[in-house]
Amino acid sequence: MNDREMLERAAKAAGIRLEWADYGDGVFRAPQHAAREAGRIWWNPLADDGDALRLAVKLGLQVTQYPIYEMPKHSVVVRPGIWNSDANMADDRHSAVEAYDGDPYAATRRAITRAAASLGAGDTEVT
């Protein structure tokens, strides 16, 4: 799955209607949000910390640095909240793990988006 498909599935999980804006930079427009440019805003949780955080909160995702009890941290794990009673949400198939590879913020945004995309894809596991 490429980044565009991942973003489309993540948006679906969050109930965000997207229009593809083909500027070659992988940015989406989400017209139902507050206006910034002709009634539309840019939405890309892979690139924007705020978009990723709002996506995680809306879907009730848990974000955990790994390893949990040791330092230094080298990865991030994102999974649906264990308190959610929805069977789909409690399934570990909807978890995402990303290594930091020098940028813990980018890894966290990508893991959040991957977990959301998995939820937006239904029962399909996102790899």
pLDDT in tens, 96-117: 999 999 999 999 999 999 999 9
Question: Mean pLDDT, to the nearest integer, of 14-34?
Answer: 65
Q: Structurally, what CATH architecture does the domain formed by 3-120 represent?
A: 2-Layer Sandwich (3.30)
Q: Is 61 helix (H, G, I), strand (E, B) or coil?
A: strand
Closest CA to 51 of 97, 11, 96: 11
Give the pLDDT of residue 19: 74
Average pLDDT, the chain: 80
| Nearest CA among 33, 37, 25, 80 for reference residue 58 | 80
Distance CA 60, CA 54 (A): 10
Selected residue with higher pLDDT from 35 and 121: 121
The three-point CA angle 53-20-94 to 5° equals 45
**15-24, 35-44, 47-56, 74-83: which has the minimum mean pLDDT?**
35-44
Answer yes or no: is pLDDT of 39 > 70: no
Evaluate if residue 74 carries a pLDDT over 70. Answer: yes
What is the rounded CA–CA span in Å between residue 62 and residue 82? 8
- Residue 83's CB is within 10 A of a number of other CB atoms, namely 9
